[in-house]
Amino acid sequence: MIRVVLPGHLRTLAHVSSEVHLEIVGPVTQRSVLDALEAQYPMLRGTIRDHVTHERRPFLRFFACEEDYSLEPPDTPLPDAVASGKEPLLIIGAIAGG
Amino acid sequence: MSKVRVLVGTRKGAFILNSDGKREKWDISGPHFAGWEMYHLKGSTVDPNRIYASQCSGWFGQIIQRSDDGGKTWIQPGTPPDEEKGPGGMPKGESNKFVYDVSADSGKPLTTHMWYDGTQHPWEFKRVWHLEPSPTDPDTVYAGVEDAGLFRSTDGGQNWQELSGLRGHESGAGWQPGAGGMCLHTIILDPSDPKRIYIAISAAGAFRTDDGGKTWRPINKGLYSQYIPNPTAEVGHCVHHVAMNPSRPGVLFMQKHWDVMRSDNSGDSWTEVSGNLPTDFGFVIDVHAHEPETIYVVPIKSDGEHFPLDGKLRVYRSKTGGNEWEALAKGLPERDCYVNVLRDAMAVDSLDKCGVYFGTTGGQVYASADAGDNWSPIAKHLPAVLSVEVQTLP
């Protein structure tokens, strides 16, 4: 089981109140996690990565195990702790005022 | 007795204001979609309970929301609430998927337009500025987007297809963004001719189709913009907003960057009607519901100072279709007012007397139940108002 923590606004859109749990067969990567997330919560398509290019939206970052994985290639395996469900993948919006 | 519903989009959510036909007491619901930029909400005239909303965010992009009960509840079209968490994910409509048409069979698919520095820049979808429901079919709605393009949905907002003939116009590669981005902000559907649509783009100008969106022509003859290399160019004008009274679809009124204009021939040519306005810069313009020669603007000091002259917020009304203007100030701030009124933030109801409404970047929504003679705030402390639309309900 993969655990994903969404930003507050996306939790509202997806109608979830805490972290999201996903089942993934095969390598656990940014791409496979986001594919599974969008399949289970289709209302999130286009909100984390672009509909067409699948590039990460510029004001969002991916963190896990206190490391920033935002700039890693999408098929790079995420840490074992994420794959095992011990640690969540954090999707975080850039902090800004206003 | 009739009712009025005012749909207000703000920087941090949407608000819905309801009143009876007297328009004296208002109930405010919201914020809907708290924290999101709500660029525009608009109801269908065919089914007033059907409301479309553009919800967007610098972080999370564009969402389209739809209400089928007058704004009480909302869904993302194509994703009904009881299916939102379906196991494994079933095929759903992707209501926020706005993809420019680059297919070979669409004619002239463009991939670039002019950037601020004169170089070519890829077309990039950013947000929906304006939603215009069809006057005949509640499931058909048009969306004006940034970077400038026109999309249409015929399934209640689930799926969107670009009317790419507009972006494919021969002038498209030369379109350039204004300071606020290259947005298609005005869509007017001619009620007397379903194949005729008017749109306006900052800063390309106004365009018209007479064949349902296949082909388009610029309609900017008579506009004069001294800030562009050729002040009378066919395209390149920073049109801020265009308004029409549905009873007279061939007559259009325009608030340009500077200048208030009118056309009596469906946009084929324009004449300036700024007349005695204290400044002819501004964003909004609208037409009285029953008197097609009565029009409203809110003069703004200048393009460098986006607030009213002398700190006095005033609507100006012309009962002669322009040129002769009177200041309407009763109930509006007479001093220390430095707000702006953005291009989609004025609307009229169709009661007798005609109600006029506008919202400010200071978060006030002002209403007049007597065609502008007297004003009062019906909301005082909202986030900055981006858009105001009105529904007159039976």
What CATH number is associated with residue A41?
Answer: 3.10.20.30
Report the alpha-carbon distance of residue B302 to residue B85 in Å, rounded.
50
Residue among B59, B87, B99 whose CB faces A51 most closely: B99
Q: How many domains does chain A have?
A: 1
pLDDT digits (tens, 9 = 90+) for B183-224: 999 999 999 999 999 999 999 999 999 999 999 999 999 999
Question: How far is the alpha carbon of A7 from chain B, nearest alpha carbon, in Å?
Answer: 10
Residue B64, beta-bridge partner list: B54
| B61-67 sheet: strands from edge to edge | B37-43, B51-57, B61-67
Q: Is residue A15 part of a domain?
A: yes
Which residue is closest to A53 within chain B, CA to CA?
A: B99
Q: What is the 3-state secondary structure (H, E, C) of chain A?
A: CEEEECCHHHHHHHCCCCCEEECCCCCCEHHHHHHHHHHHCHHHCCCCECCCCCCECCCEEEEECCEECCCCCCCCECCHHHHCCCCCEEEEECCCCC
pLDDT of residue B107: 58
pLDDT, tens digit, 9 for 90 and up, residues A14-68 = 989 889 999 999 999 999 999 999 999 988 999 999 988 899 999 999 999 999 9
pLDDT at A98 over 60: no
Cβ <8 Å between B89 and A46: no
Residues of chain A whose beta carbon is less than 8 angstroms from a beta carbon of chain B are 7, 9-10, 13-15, 38-43, 45-48, 50-52, 57, 59-60, 93-94, 96
Distance CA B68, CA B50 (A): 4
**Cis omega (within 30 of 0) for bond into B214:** no
Under an 8 A CB cutoff, do B59 and A60 touch? yes
Strand partners, B146: B127, B183
Residue A30 is assigned to a structural domain of this protein: yes
Note the pLDDT of residue B88: 38
- The pLDDT score that the predictor gives to residue B84 is 47
Enter the tokens of residue B228.
Answer: 């562009």
In a domain, A98, yes or no: no
pLDDT for B96 equals 87
- Residue B95 pLDDT: 80
Please give the angle made by the CA atoms of B41, B283 and B148, to the nearest 5 degrees.
65
- Residue B85, pLDDT score: 44
Q: Which helix (H) or strand (E) holds B121?
A: strand B120-122
Which residues have CB under 8 Å from B9's CB, separation 6+? Answer: B37, B38, B39, B40, B41, B53, B54, B344, B385, B386, B387, B388
In a domain, A75, yes or no: yes
Q: What pLDDT does residue B187 have?
A: 98
The reply to whether A58 falls in a domain is yes
Q: Which residues of chain B have pLDDT under 70?
A: 79-93, 107-109
Give the separation between CA B225 and CA B236, rounded to whole angstroms: 9
Please check whether residue B80 touches A, CB under 8 A. no
Q: Does B88 touch chain A (CB under 8 A)?
A: yes
A43 inside domain: yes
| Segments forming the whole domain that contains residue A38 | 2-93
